[in-house]
Amino acid sequence: MIKVESVSGLRALLNDKKNIVFIPTMGNLHEGHLSLIDQATLISRTVVVSIFINPAQFNSSQDLEKYPRTIGQDIALLRPYENVIIFVPQLNEIYPETPNINYDLPPIANELCGKYRPGHFNGVITVIDRLFNLIKPQAAIFGKKDYQQLHLIKEFSKVSYPTIEIIGMPTIRDGNGLALSSRNNLFEKEQLIDISFFNQSLTNIAHHAQSGQNYQESILFGIDALKERGWLIDYIEVRRSSDLKVALPGDRHLIILGAANYKNIRLIDNIEFCIDGSN
C-alpha cells in the first residue's frame, strides 16, 4: 500500500504503469468498497483508490459537513493491499481552479435522484472527469447501489473516455438486506434494523411485479407502509434496467429504485429483476 496526497506524486507513481484499475471513493470505507478493491486486484497489479469528499456533488453545506470522515480507519483497512495506491488529495489538488459543473448530461440526470438533488450529478461527473483525466485508468469499478450514478458515468465515459471500461459490481448487504453505505454510520446501531425495512419494501414490490401483479399498486402500498414507520419518500419507481427509462408493458429486465429519508438521513437502494424470472 502506498499513500500519496499530491497530483504530482500520483503522476510520478503511475508514470510507467499500465492496465490501471481505478476505484473512486469518498472514504468511510466498508465491505462494499473492499469488494470493489478485491475485484480490481484480480484484474490488475496496479490499483488506485481515491479518497476525496467531493463538495461539488453535495446539495447542502450541512450534508457535506455531516459526511463521515474516517481517514485513519480507511488507511488501516487498505493496509493489507500490497499493490494499492491510495490517493488522498486536498481540495486544491482536485480543483486548482473553479470547476466546470455544467456538463451536458442526458435527460435522466434530472429524474429520480436528479429531481430531488438538482446539480448533484453534474457535481459527480465533474470529479469523475478530473480523476479520469489524472489517472487515465484502463478500467474503473463502481458499486451498483448508486445505479443512476453508474448509468450516467457510463454514458459520460462513452463519449469522453471511450477507452475506459466501466464495471458495475453487485451491492453488498448486511444480514438484514440493508445495503452497506457510509450513511448507515449516521444511525444509532439499534436503528439499523428499522432502516432495513426500506429494502424489504422494495423487495416486496419486485416480487409482486415478477408474479404478474400490478406493481404500481404495490408501490403505493409500500410507500404507505414506509410512511407509517416515519419515512419521508422521495420516490419509488420501476424503470428499465438498461437505460432507466419508464418501464412499458413487455419490458422484462427491470429495476426498482427508491430514495427516502429516515431521521433526516437520506438513503437510496435498488433491486434488479426480470418479469419472467430469467436472467
Say whether 33 is catalytic. Answer: yes
Residue 259 pairs with which residues in a beta bridge? Answer: 235, 268
Kindly name the residue from 30, 33, 151, 208 that is annotated as catalytic: 33
Neighbours of 57 (CB within 10 A): 22
Output phi, psi for 43, to 5 deg.
Answer: -90, -35
CB contact burial 108-144 (16+ within 10 A = b; e otherwise): bbebbbbeebebbbbbbbbbbbbbbebbebbbbbbbb
Q: Which amino acid is at 249?
A: P
Give the C-alpha separation, 144 to 127, whole Å: 18
Tell me the catalytic residues: 33
